[in-house]
Structure formats: structure tokens, C-alpha cells
Amino acid sequence: MSRAGEMSEGPAPVVLALHGFTRRPGDLDVLASECAARGLATLRPTLDSFWWQRSINNASHLTRLAEQYAPRLQGRRCVVVGHSAGAAAGSWLGSELRRTGIEVGGFVYVDGNESPTHLISRAWPFIGDLPIRAVCAPPSRCNRDGQLAAWLLTKPGDVVVEVIDGSGHGDIEGRTTPVYRWACGDASSLAVRTIVMERTLSHVDGLLAGHHVGTRDDVTQDR
């Protein structure tokens, strides 16, 4: 398994896994381990929640990350998985990777949220032609009462939104921590957390199997 911020060498497909607000790459260790068991490499950027220059909400920082990662991703299939605020950051990062010519197979939002800087809506003209999968908890204060799920349902194209009954905002981390219980009301069982992980990985597998090879070369909209 690749450690936080690292990626194995070789031809293995890559899952770009982006953590949520106030979280760290290590909080996605369970996801990375499950990916490794499938023969997938993971790349997990460290995104700051409060220092603007490296902020999870800063488009310029995410563009720099895309330019940094692009040489390592040349010739490798990749899918973006974003948890919570990582869904918005991942949308912009994936959009910028496409600009550099990297083939992005699609996006999996895990109880995702739009950012205060509107990264998903700003990136949408450049990623909306790709498959989008959303694995969501029921509406709660931590997913802004299901705002992103509702917004995605208005979008044309290959968009699939799943709401997992009884799931919580932090289930993709593989455990229910006190912060999620207190802040989000999470109270999911191990069985439900397992379903969230399985559905996420199933979407990753599907996106990689039906890899979409389009790039943004023909898109002219201004950001």
C-alpha cells in the first residue's frame, strides 16, 4: 500500500483519494488498503484546511498539485475519489489533470460537499462529460442536508447518486470517530460502513473498467 502522498511505480491504475475538511491522508488508510488489495495504487494529497496557500478550497494550489502529479500519471489510468470537501477539491484537481493530458476515468464523491469557492460547479464544464458517481449518507448537517446529491440529480450525463440508508458522513474512513458522532450525528454499524466502502470500490472498479479517454482539448469555456 502506498503511504499518504506516495504512489507506487509501474503501470497499476491510480486512485487519487482526497480527504475531507480537517482530515488527513491517513484517515483514508482503509480505503488505500482496499485499493491495494485490488492491485490499485493510491495517491493521497495532503490538503490544509486553514492555511490558504495549501488549502483544500484553493483552486490555484490544486492546479499546482495537478502539474506536479501529471508526469507521474502519464500513461496510467486514474479515478478520483473525494470524501466530503475532498469531492470539490478532487473535481478541480481532476479537471486540471485532464488539461495536462492525463486520462481521468471519472469521479466518485463519497458524501461530498461543494466548496465555498464553488470548485465543483466551476470544474463541471470540464468534467461533466465523465462518469460521476456519488455514494451519499442521508441528509445531515455534515453534507449540508444533501445539497450536492440534490444538485447532481439535476445534471444530465452519466451521473449516478446512491443514498445508503443508515450511513454516516465519515463511514469511508472505516470507523466512527467521536468527531463524526458529535459533529455529524454518525451512528452507523460496521455492516453499513462496509457497504459504503464496497459501493465506493465497486464504482472505482467500474470506472476503471470502462475508462473514459476524453480530454478537455475541445472545451473553451472560461473559468
CATH at 170:
3.40.50.1820
The closest alpha carbon to 184, from 12, 10, 22, belongs to 22
pLDDT in tens, the chain (223 residues): 344 445 555 678 999 999 988 888 899 999 999 999 999 999 999 887 665 566 678 999 999 999 999 999 999 999 999 999 999 999 999 999 999 999 999 999 999 999 999 999 999 999 999 999 999 999 999 999 999 999 999 999 999 999 999 999 999 998 878 888 988 999 999 999 999 999 999 999 999 997 443 333 333 233 4
Nearest to 5 by CA among 221, 16, 13: 16
Phi-psi region of 174 (alpha: psi -120 to 50; beta: other; left: phi over 0): left
Which of helix, strand or coil describes residue 64?
helix
216 part of a folded domain: no
Phi-psi region of 40 (alpha: psi -120 to 50; beta: other; left: phi over 0): beta
At residue 4, the pLDDT reads 42
Residue 151 lies in a domain: yes
C-alpha torsion angle, residues 36, 39, 40, 43 (rounded to 10): 50
Instruction: Assess if residue 5 is contained within a domain.
Output: no
In a domain, 114, yes or no: yes
Asked if residue 99 belongs to a domain, the reply is yes
Buried b (16+ CB within 10 A) or exposed e, 107-138: bbbbbbbbbebebbebbbebbbbbbbbbbbbb
> 6: closest CA among 26, 34, 23, 22?
26
163 grid coordinates: 443514498
Q: 41 lies in a domain?
A: yes
Q: For the chain, where are the alpha helices, taking DSSP H only?
A: 29-37, 59-73, 85-99, 119-127, 147-152, 178-184, 190-209
pLDDT, position 222? 35
Q: Which residues span the domain enclosing 154?
A: 14-209
> Does residue 223 sit within a domain?
no
Distance linking the first and last C-alpha atoms of the chain: 36
pLDDT at 54: 63
For the entire predicted model, the pTM comes to 0.88
- d(CA 82, CA 79) in angstroms, rounded, equals 10
The total domain count for the chain is 1
Would you say residue 146 lies in a domain?
Answer: yes
